[in-house]
Structure formats: structure tokens, C-alpha cells
Amino acid sequence: MRILGDFARAVGQIPDPRFLRVLLLGLGLTLALLIGATWLFAWVAGWLVPESFTLFGLTIDFAGGIASGAAVLVMLVASVFLMVPVASAFTGLFLEQVAEAVEARFYPHLPPATPVPMGEALKDTVNFLGVIIAVNLLALILYFFVGPFAPVLFWAVNGFLLGREYFQLVAMRRVGRQGAIAARRRHMPEIWLAGGLMAIPLSVPVINLFVPILGAATFTHLYHRLEPQDARVS
């Protein structure tokens, strides 16, 4: 499967100092975001629940600490879902740097890309992020009806959304917005499949921390492979 080859190239570039710097920066910000959100949730849970109280004549001690601990466990589970919007948000922050590092290593013969203006990239990222959050909130209702197939639905929905976002933002650097939309429509089945393969590790704690940056690199390779008139591997 050629998509796995794209991913293997992304992983193989990790030792590259230019790529590693972006990867470590993305990893650090992701950890900081998740740790900060977990700490805030645990603090609110501990603040809302008194340290001890009496229920049906029984005194329950350390209730606030128990609530805080439970909040941490809840956030660990929630991180499976939170990493999808995090991956979406990181496209606007790191995709340009990741794509430049990939192209410098694998496609040095290409002319410089036209960077997507920061304002336009942030606008697209916010729009995509809003769509991802809204669609996932609606999908929560469906998860109760599909039973054991809920993970498959999760991967399919988010694979479509993330694949669409990553591919379009990579392509816009080379062919502009309209060209990116046209390319996306031409290759949507493979883009969806690549997005699904990206969504699966996003649901695995710890591994999901590396996915946003590696995903950006993978989709850079994917674009250049699917649009060979623009890039030929040297």
C-alpha cells in the first residue's frame, strides 16, 4: 500500500534536525495543552466536591481528592477524542514548516512553494476545527446506536475530515485554493483512506502525540505522489 510508504518516509525523516525540531516542538505543545486541560479539569472537580461529606449517615473522606483523581482518568479517556481537534488545530501552526522540511529532503528540485498567508491559514484552521467539533458532537449520538462499530465510525468520520483538511492545506501551497480543491476531489478516496489511517493512531494514548506532525509530513508525500506533474522524487 503506497500510503504506508508515504508514512514510512515521514518516520524515516525524524532524525533530520530540521524535521526533529518541529516534531519536538509539536510534541511539547501537545503535552502542555493536554496536561493543562487535565490539571484544570481536576482542579475544578476537586473544587466542586468537598473534601469530606456525609451521605446516608456515612462520612466520606477525601472525596475531593477522589474526584480529582477520577477527573484525571476521565481526561485520559477524553484525550482519544481531544487529539482529533488538536491535530486539526496544529495544521495551521506547523504544516508549512513540516512541508518545507519534507520538500527540502525529498523534492529539492522543486521551486519554492507559495506560503499560505498566516491569516488565511488560521481562518481555514478555525473553520475546519469548528466543523470537526460539530460533526463529532453529532457523531456522539450515533455511537450509541452502532455499538461495537463505534470505533470504525469514529475513524471513518474523522479520517474523512482530517484527510480533507491536511491534503487541501498542503496542496494550497503549490496550486492555490481552487487547484487544491480540484486535486482533493480527484483523489478523495485515497485521501479518505490516508485520513482514516491517521485517525486510528490518534485514538491510541501516547502514540497519538506524534500523529499531528507525522500526519502533516505523510500528506506532503501523498500530495506529491498523487500530483506527479508537480513533483517527481529525485
Residue 26 within a domain = no
* pLDDT exceeds cutoff 70 at 78: no
Do the domain assignments include residue 92?
yes
pLDDT at 232: 43
**104 belongs to a structural domain:** yes
Q: How confident is the prediction for the chain on average, in pLDDT?
A: 80
Place 72 in a pLDDT band, splitting at 50, 70 and 90: low
DSSP string, 187-233: THHHHHHHHHHHHHHHTSTTGGGTHHHHHHHHHHHHHHHH-TTT---
Look at residue 99 and tell me if it is in a domain.
Answer: yes
Domain count, the chain: 1
Place of cell 480533507: 164
Residue 158 lies in a domain: yes
Answer whether residue 163 is part of any domain.
yes
Kind and range of the H or E element at 167?
helix 150-186
The predicted model gives 102-111 an average pLDDT of 91
Of the chain, the percentage scoring pLDDT greater than 90 comes to 26
Domain that holds residue 200: 2-15+82-226
